[in-house]
């Protein structure tokens, strides 16, 4: 039976409710779409409270465990659904390198579990034992280039959670195929979700014959037809988010988002949620909102590094250090960028700690910040500028008394490096700095300044590996604290 397109899936659900569901579903393609289709299917198969009892997800692509459950009658009446989510069952040897890259990407997106699943598949396809990767990753040619730095957390996750399979991928696929052809116990259903499939595989053909295959893929090309389909999917996602929030978006604002983000459903949805929060009580998102809140996703990666640092995201920061170094960024550039960002947080934290009116409260929504905190910040900045101007005048007065003649220059404003809101007309980035400041105590930020200063000195006066210095900075600044956090 031909594959069912994602756009026709709702129709299939209606028809299946009226007649019968297939015992096997393979849902593949774009992650955001196949997860949505998966949830829709589960809700249809197991309505009401039965989902909690009759849905049995199987972790780590354990096909043997899934088959054991499928071939056992349920002790609870009604349907029983077994699922293998984000499965790697269709991976093939020629995909090994691409799968390793997917593991890195997933790790960079803070998805350690998913990275571990990709990495496990890579090991199986490359005929490498987990113990080899754990004991000496540098001895494995495919991993040597990375120096094993990004792998530590992924390998540890695999070991602790038994992610790496002891069976070869081909054996699992063959066993699954045999069971599909033989059939499962009555009222038992299997759902498999994955991003990539190989239609040439016998397993795929067996699923196609005995079950239903839902195609959630979206063409990534630049042809008019491809672009049209991409835009249709994005609009559908947009409408789902906006309808829930009871908001609309200007056509020009939507076009700006598409140009800035491209076809990336996850990023698009996340940024749309930011805009929903930013607009508060307003029910319409404008182009100005988009330009104020969003940055191009292909932004200069040095800002991603400082963002990871101020989010205390050690894993992301270490990955970005390696990526930046490989693309030509000097470690000293990274340190200087970190210094600038930590100084900004320190100024914000000092304002929060020592201002007379404690206007900022952790977790405050943007609109409250805009109405209550921003005016106090502007006054604080004005007072600071006036003080700096006064100090500058005091420095110039002795020279006048000595009769030193200086060429008249246009009056210059004092340096504004210490200002919190350099551009009060664009307050959202300022709000984000206040949010990030909550992740640190004042003492931690003061200590971070010392750590960065020492790192700067080490780079300029010692022969120590400079990338290692940057990594040590991240580990020290981002380290978790066990004590109760305070200001």
The class of domain 301-388+416-487 in CATH terms is: mainly alpha
Q: Is the pLDDT of residue 297 over 50?
A: no
Per-residue pLDDT reduced to its tens digit, 425-454? 778 788 888 989 999 999 999 999 999 999
Q: What is the mean pLDDT of residues 23-45?
A: 93
pLDDT at 447: 94
Q: Is the pLDDT of residue 207 over 50?
A: yes
Work out the pLDDT band at 308, boundaries 50, 70, 90.
Answer: confident
Q: Is the pLDDT of residue 395 over 80?
A: no
Work out the pLDDT band at 56, boundaries 50, 70, 90.
Answer: very high
User: Is residue 212 a contact partner of residue 4, using CB atoms and an 8 Å limit?
Assistant: yes
SS3 77: coil
Residue ranges covered by each domain of the chain:
1-217, 224-293, 301-388+416-487
Q: In angstroms, what is the C-alpha Rg of the chain?
A: 28
Neighbours of 239 (CB within 10 A): 12
User: Is residue 201 a contact partner of residue 176, using CB atoms and an 8 Å limit?
Assistant: no
What does CATH list as the number for 1-217? 3.40.50.300
311 vs 151, which has greater pLDDT? 311
User: Is residue 42 a contact partner of residue 208, using CB atoms and an 8 Å limit?
Assistant: no
The class of domain 224-293 in CATH terms is: mainly alpha
pTM given for the model? 0.55
pLDDT at 454: 93
User: Which neighbouring-strand residues pair with 193?
Assistant: 27
User: Is residue 310 a contact partner of residue 341, using CB atoms and an 8 Å limit?
Assistant: yes
Structure tokens at 417: 């490096």
Q: Is the pLDDT of residue 31 over 60?
A: yes
pLDDT at 21: 94
Q: Is the pLDDT of residue 147 over 50?
A: no
* Most confident of the ranges 44-48, 291-295, 313-317: 44-48
68 vs 295, which has greater pLDDT? 68
Q: What is the mean pLDDT of residues 344-359?
A: 84
Q: What is the mean pLDDT of residues 129-156?
A: 70
C-alpha closest to that of 175 among 70, 54, 94:
70
SS3 461: helix
Work out the pLDDT band at 146, boundaries 50, 70, 90.
Answer: low
Give me the sign of the Cα torsion angle 105, 100, 317, 154: positive
Neighbours of 481 (CB within 10 A): 11
DSSP string, 310-344: HTT-HHHHHHHHHHHHHTT--HHHHHHHHHHHHHH
CA distance 218 to 227: 10
Residue 20 burial (CB < 10 Å; 0-12/13-18/19+)? exposed
Q: Is the pLDDT of residue 76 over 90?
A: no
Phi, psi of 4 (to 5 degrees): -95, 125
* Residue partners of 154: CB distance under 8 A and separation at least 6: 103, 107, 112, 115, 116, 119
DSSP 8-state symbol, 370? I
User: Which neighbouring-strand residues pair with 198?
Assistant: none
Percent of residues, the chain, with pLDDT higher than 90: 30
């Amino acid at each position: 039976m031909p594959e069912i397109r994602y756009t026709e899936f709702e129709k299939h659900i209606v028809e299946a409710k009226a007649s019968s569901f297939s015992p096997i579903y393979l849902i593949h393609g774009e992650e955001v779409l196949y997860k949505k289709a998966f949830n829709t299917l589960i809700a249809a198969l197991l309505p009401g409270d039965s989902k909690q009892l009759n849905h049995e997800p199987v972790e780590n692509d354990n096909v043997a465990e899934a088959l054991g459950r499928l071939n056992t009658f349920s002790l609870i009446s009604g349907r029983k659904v077994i699922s293998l989510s984000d499965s790697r069952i269709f991976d093939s040897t020629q995909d090994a390198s691409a799968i390793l890259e997917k593991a890195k990407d997933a790790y960079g997106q803070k998805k350690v579990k998913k990275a571990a699943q990709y990495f496990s598949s890579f090991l199986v396809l490359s005929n490498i034992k987990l113990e080899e990767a754990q004991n000496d990753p540098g001895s494995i040619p495919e991993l040597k280039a990375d120096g094993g730095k990004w792998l530590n957390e992924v390998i540890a996750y695999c070991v602790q959670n038994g992610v790496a399979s002891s069976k070869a991928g081909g054996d699992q696929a063959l066993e699954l195929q045999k069971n599909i052809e033989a059939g499962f116990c009555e009222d038992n259903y299997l759902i498999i979700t994955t991003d990539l499939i190989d239609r040439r595989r016998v397993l795929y053909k067996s699923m196609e014959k005995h079950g239903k295959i839902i195609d959630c893929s979206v063409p990534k090309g630049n042809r008019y037809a491809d672009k049209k389909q991409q835009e249709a999917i994005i609009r559908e996602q947009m409408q789902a988010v906006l309808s829930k929030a009871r908001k609309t978006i200007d056509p020009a604002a939507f076009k700006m988002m598409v140009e800035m983000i491209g076809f990336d459903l996850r990023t698009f949805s996340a940024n749309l949620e930011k805009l929903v929060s930013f607009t508060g009580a307003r029910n319409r998102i404008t182009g100005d909102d988009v330009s104020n809140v969003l940055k191009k996703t292909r932004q200069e990666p040095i800002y991603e590094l400082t963002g990871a640092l101020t989010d205390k995201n050690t894993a992301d920061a270490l990955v970005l250090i390696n990526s930046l170094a490989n693309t030509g960024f000097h470690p000293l550039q990274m340190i200087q960028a970190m210094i600038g960002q930590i100084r900004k947080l320190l100024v914000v934290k000092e304002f929060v700690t020592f201002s007379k009116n404690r206007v900022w409260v952790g977790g405050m929504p943007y609109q409250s910040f805009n109405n209550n905190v921003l005016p106090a910040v502007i006054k604080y900045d004005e007072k600071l500028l006036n003080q700096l101007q006064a100090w500058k005048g005091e420095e110039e007065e002795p020279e006048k008394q000595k009769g030193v003649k200086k060429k008249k220059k246009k009056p210059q404003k004092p340096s504004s490096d210490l200002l919190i809101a350099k551009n009060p007309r664009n307050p959202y980035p300022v709000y984000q700095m206040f949010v990030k400041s909550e992740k640190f105590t004042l003492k931690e930020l003061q200590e971070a300044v010392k750590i960065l200063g020492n790192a700067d000195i080490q780079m300029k006066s010692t022969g120590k590996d400079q990338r290692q210095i940057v990594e040590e900075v991240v580990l020290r600044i981002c380290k978790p604290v066990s004590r109760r956090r305070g200001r």
